[in-house]
Structure 1
Amino acid sequence: MRMNIYIGNLANNITEDRLKALFAEFGEVEHVKVIKDRFSGTPKGYGFIEMPSNSEADQAIKALNGNRIDGNAIKVRPADPGGKRKKKRSLRRKRY
């Protein structure tokens, strides 16, 4: 089963190739995505990596969490699948 990994607190000059090389030390990396601002194109400071092996992904998370990359201590953890978010409240008025 694949594991999607969140990487936060990235420097603005980080590249997807650099992240891939960093995580490739622990196993195969399928996909790398640095999230960028839609209008300016500058990185937002976080990204995602997908690794096919859970054991390799766990090793990478344990080894890289808190490491300094370009002066920033990065945060590495399994990505939230998105299903745990709270539902927004309805803006419709209740009829009494």
Structure 2
Amino acid sequence: MNIAIYNLDSEVTNAALQELFTPFGPVASAEIALDAFTGVSRGFGQIVMDDETAALNAIRSLHDTEFKGLQLSVQEAPEKKEQLGSYKVGTGPVRVYKFRKN
């Protein structure tokens, strides 16, 4: 099960996040989102736990708790939407813009 963690301190590492969730069961992966340009934490991360019971227990236990001076928001991660392409999305007609010649 994928777990989303929000409101993380910028000093929290992947290892610290994994260590926080390890008492509830085995953690398959722990990843903090980093800014692409600065490499600094964006304040949220994701945990993957294979045992769904342990994951739900971790969510209940850690939601609204304090970690490194900030109150965490822990919840089941939303499903990722798959984009079908980088062009028009939807079922309506495509309007072509025609440039005028002066």
* TM value normalised by structure 1: 0.85
* Identity across matched positions, percent: 32
Q: How many aligned positions are there?
A: 91
> CA separation in 2, counterparts of 1:34 and 1:88?
30
- Report Cα offsets for 1:18-70 as digits up to 9, x if no partner: 11111000000000110000010000000000000000000000000011111
Per the alignment, residue 33 of structure 2 pairs with 35
> CA separation in 2, counterparts of 1:35 and 1:88?
27
Per the alignment, residue 19 of structure 1 pairs with 17
Larger radius of gyration: 2
Shift of the 80–93 alpha-carbon distance from structure 1 to 2, 3 Å rule, reads same
Contiguous gaps of at least 5 residues in structure 2: 97-102
Match among 66, 76, 86 for residue 68 of structure 1: 66
Runs of 4+ in 1 over 3 A off after TM superposition: 87-90
Per the alignment, residue 80 of structure 1 pairs with 78
Match among 35, 52, 55 for residue 54 of structure 1: 52
Q: Which structure ranks higher in relative contact order (CA pairs < 8 Å, sequence separation ≥ 6)?
A: 1
RMSD between aligned alpha carbons? 2.3
